[in-house]
Amino acid sequence: MQRKFVTNLIFLLALNFLIKPFWLLGIDRNIQNIVGSESYGFYFAIFNFSLLFNIILDFGITSFNNRNIAQNKQLLKKHFSGIIVLKVLLIALYGIVVLLVGIFIGYDSKQLYFLLWVGINQALLSFILYLRSNISGLLLFKTDSIISVLDRFLMILICSFLIWGNVFSSPFQIEWLMYSQTVAYLITLVVALVIVIQKSGFQKPNWNGLFLIMVIKKSLPFALMLFLMGIYNRVDSVMLERILSGTKGEFQSGVFAQAYRLFDAGNNIALLFGVILLPIFARMIKKKDPVEKLVKLSFTIIFTFAIILAMSSYFYRDEIMKLLYSQHGDELLSDFNQRILQSGRIFGILMFSFVAVCSSYIFGTLLTALGKLRYMIKVAMVGVLINLITNIMLIPSLEAVGAAYASLGAQTITAIAMIYGVQKRFAFSINYRYLSQLFSFILLVWLLNYVSKFSPMNSLINYSGVLLFSLFFAYILNLLNVRSFIAMLKSDPRVK
C-alpha cells in the first residue's frame, strides 16, 4: 500500500502543480488586482459564508461513501441510485436555509444575489465531490486525479478569455468569476457522472425511504464532524465582515483573502494526502494490516514540505505579497504599502497554522478511517470554541491579523489532539531518533532563513536558495530518502 500511496500521490501532485498554482496565482490573484480588495473581499466573505452550510449539502455522505466503497466496493451499484435522490433533496434544503439565514443576518439584495449564485456553485461542487468519492473509493486514483483538476482547468480557459480576450469594453467584474465557476462545474459534473455510471452500471434513481434513513444515520457523525471543522476553517473572513461591518469589514476581508490565497493553495495540496489516504487506510484497517509505516511515510513527506514553506513564507512574507499584488488605480502608495505589510503579517501567521493543518490531514484521516468519529467531533468542537472566542476578542483591535491568530490557535490545538488520539489508539513506538531528526530539521531551516536575510543578493535568489538548501537538509537528515522512494516504486507489484 505504501507503493500505491506514493505512485498515486506523485501523479496527483503533478497534475495539481500544473493546474492549481496557475489558477491561484495567474487568474484568481489577477482578478483581485483588477476588481480591488473591497470588491473581492465582498465576494470572499459571502463565499466563505456559503461554505459554513456545506454540512447540509453533503451531510457527511462523501466521507461515509468513500470509506464504505473502499471497504465494500460491491455496494456501489446498490447505493449509487439511492444516494443521488438524497443529494437532490439536500441541495434543495441547502438553498432554502442559506438564503433564509442570509436574510436573517441582514444581507442586502446584492449580497443575496451573490449568495444565491455561490450557493448554486457549491451545490454543483458537492455533487462532483460525491461522484469522486465513488471513483477514489474504488482506488481509481488516476481517474479521480484528472477529475479533481478538470474544473480548475476549465475555469482557467474561461477566465483567461474574459480577462485578456478583449471581449467586453469594461474590465473583469467579480460576478464573472461566479458565472465561470458554474459553467466549469457543470461540465465536470457530467464527465464524473458518466464515469461513475460506467463503473456502477446504470440504475434509475429511486426513492427508498429505509435506505435513505440508513445512509443519513451512518453519515450523521461525518456530517457533524465536517460541519464543525468547516466553521473553524472558514469562519474568519465571515466574522471580519460582520464584526467590523461596512466597507472596513469588506476591505479587511479582502486583505485577509490576499494572505489566505497562498495558504489555501498549500491547503489544497495537503488535502490530496487525505483524499488518497482515507480509502487506503480504510482498506488496510479492514484487512488488519499495520498502518504505522504508511503513517510515518506520509507524515514525513507532508511535514517536511510544510516546514520549508512555513519558515520561508514567514521570513519572506512582505516580498511575496509585493510580488503578488499591485497598487490599485485610486490607491495611495502609503495605503498600498500598509495593505502589503498587513497581508504579509497575516500570511506569516497563517503559514505556521499550515503546518498544523498538514498534520491533521494525516492523523485526522487515520482516525476517520478507523471510525473514531466521536473523538473527532469532540476535537472539532474545541477548535470551533477556540476560533470563535479568539476572533471575538482579537478582531475589534487587531482586525484581520486577529483572525489569523485565531486560525493559528484553533489549528494547532486540534492537530495536537488528533496526534494524541492516534497515539492513544495505536500505541506506536516512540522513535526518539526520528523525533530528533525532525527537530534538527526545523532548527536548520530556521537558521538558514534567518542567515539568508543578511545576504546582499536579490530576495528572489535568496528565497530560491533557501528552498533548495532546505531540501538538501531534508535529504541529509534522511527525511526525504530518494533511494527508498525508488525502491518502493519498483516493489510490491500486487498493488499496481
Query: Domain of 62?
Result: 2-428
151 lies in a domain?
Answer: yes
List, for residues 96-132, the tens digit of each pLDDT value: 999 999 999 888 889 899 999 999 999 999 889 888 8
Q: What is the pLDDT of residue 6?
A: 62
Half-sphere exposure of 58 (CA within 13 A, CB side): 30
DSSP letter for each residue of 117-182 = HHHHHHHHHHHHHHHHHHHHHTT-HHHHHHHHHHHHHHHHHHHHHHHHS--SSSPPPHHHHHHHHH
List, for residues 35-45, the tens digit of each pLDDT value: 887 888 888 88
Helix axis angle, 76-104 to 174-200, nearest 10°: 160
Q: Across residues 300-307, what is the average pLDDT?
A: 93
| Side chain identity, residue 103 | I
Q: What is the pLDDT of residue 319?
A: 92
Q: What is the pLDDT of residue 290?
A: 87
492 lies in a domain?
Answer: no
455 lies in a domain?
Answer: no
Q: Across residues 61-87, what is the average pLDDT?
A: 71
List, for residues 375-421, the tens digit of each pLDDT value: 999 999 999 999 999 999 999 999 999 999 999 999 999 999 999 99
Q: What is the pLDDT of residue 312?
A: 95
Q: How far apart are CA 370 and CA 255, in angstroms?
A: 39
Largest CA distance in the chain: 70
480 lies in a domain?
Answer: no
Task: Tally the residues of the chain.
Answer: 496
444 lies in a domain?
Answer: no
Q: What share of the chain in percent tops pLDDT 90?
A: 39
In Å, how far from its chain's centre is CA 216? 25
69 lies in a domain?
Answer: yes
Element (H, E) at 306: helix 292-315
Q: How far apart are CA 328 and CA 350, in angstroms?
A: 24
| DSSP annotation of 455 | -
Give the total number of structural domains in the chain: 1
For 321, phi and psi rounded to 5 degrees? Answer: -65, -40
pLDDT of 371 > 50? The answer is yes
Q: Of 64 and 341, which is predicted with more confidence? A: 341
469 lies in a domain?
Answer: no
Q: Across residues 24-38, what is the average pLDDT?
A: 83
- Average pLDDT score over the chain: 85
256 lies in a domain?
Answer: yes
Q: Across residues 167-186, what is the average pLDDT?
A: 90
For 82, phi and psi rounded to 5 degrees? Answer: -75, -40
Angle at 255 between CA 359 and CA 258, to 5 degrees: 55
pLDDT band at 234, cuts 50/70/90?
Answer: confident
pLDDT band at 482, cuts 50/70/90?
Answer: low
